[in-house]
Amino acid sequence: MEIIWYHPSQDPQVWLAGLRQRLPAAHIRHWQPGDAAAADYAIVRSPPPAMLAGRALRGVFAMGAGVDEILRQLRDQPQLLADEVPLFRLEDTGMARQMQEYATWCVLGWFRRFAEYRQQQQQAQWQPLPDRDRQTFTVGVMGTGVLGRSVLESLRQWGFPLRGWSRTPKAIAGVETFHGREQLEAFLSGCQVVIDLLPDTPDTRNLINHHFLHTLPRGAHFLNLARGAHVVETDLLAALDSGQLAAAALDVFQVEPLPATSPLWLHPQVTITPHNAAVTLPQEAMDYIASAILSLEQGQMPSGRVDRQRGY
């Protein structure tokens, strides 16, 4: 079994050693330009087209929860990967817990008004603020796959009303669920916090625009843990400036790294992190990939396969 691996920035030795330990019968190599030798499986992040072109692969594994980079390449160059070759993404592998931590920190901070107290501290103001009503502090999660469900589960213990919105109907215990564009406004209209965990698809790009933000109750909060392509940033800034949004926490952006000239950096109601809300954990990722490859070798289809038409 021949396996090729490529990541533009991570240390190949960590991955190669770990994969060889888990798949001792396989020959695993770090793909580099000029390598045209045969391969059965590819493990990739931002692969150069030459890595995939012309290979009779039995499976491709993305080292992340999103596969939008690969799908964009396939839209431009569909010959890179035959339709029958399964493409897989990481569904959890330690990322769910990281998302839970980030989302819980934001929601509790907004509920307890910690950012507002921080601003008062900078002005030496001693002024208790009115408590928020937990029963009306509804938190909505957009995207109810593995990561979205895990975030909803982590918030359940705090007693907030929970909502979920997805492309198709989903039933989640203790969560009021909505689906499809026809139910989006109803979902938004009652949310004090909206958390974006949607995949990057043609339907979700620029979804979070002026109309979306003004469907929320005035003074709502927005957290983006998904993709920057979902947000019209000028509309987001306008909603923050007008008070329509009370605050936003952003881990992803239209352009990354976020340009130093972006007004988001200095906005007092914006919290920024550098696309690290949930990072790929090599050991957990290698456990999944090795197990999935062994399943494929035995004629079984593992979880995590991407529907290329849907984009996730």
Looking at the annotation, which residues are catalytic? Answer: 227, 275
What Å distances lie between residue 101 and 98, 108, 158, 185, 225, CA to CA?
Answer: 5, 11, 13, 28, 12
Strands (E) in the chain, as ranges, are: 2-6, 27-30, 41-44, 59-62, 87-88, 139-142, 162-166, 176-179, 193-196, 220-224, 245-250, 270-272
Burial 149-163 (b: 16+ CB within 10 A, else e): bbbbbbbeeeebbbb
- 95-111 vs 146-156: helix crossing angle, rounded to 10: 40
* Closest to 22 (Cα-Cα) out of 14, 30, 33: 14
Q: Tokens 């975030």 appear where?
A: 151
Cβ-contact 90, 280 below 8 angstroms:
yes
290 contacts: CB under 8 Å, gap ≥ 6: 19, 22, 23
Tell me the residue type at 75: R
Strands (E) in 209-250, as ranges, are: 220-224, 245-250
Cβ-contact 15, 286 below 8 angstroms:
yes
* Closest to 44 (Cα-Cα) out of 71, 28, 64: 64
Residue 225 in tokens: 């843990």
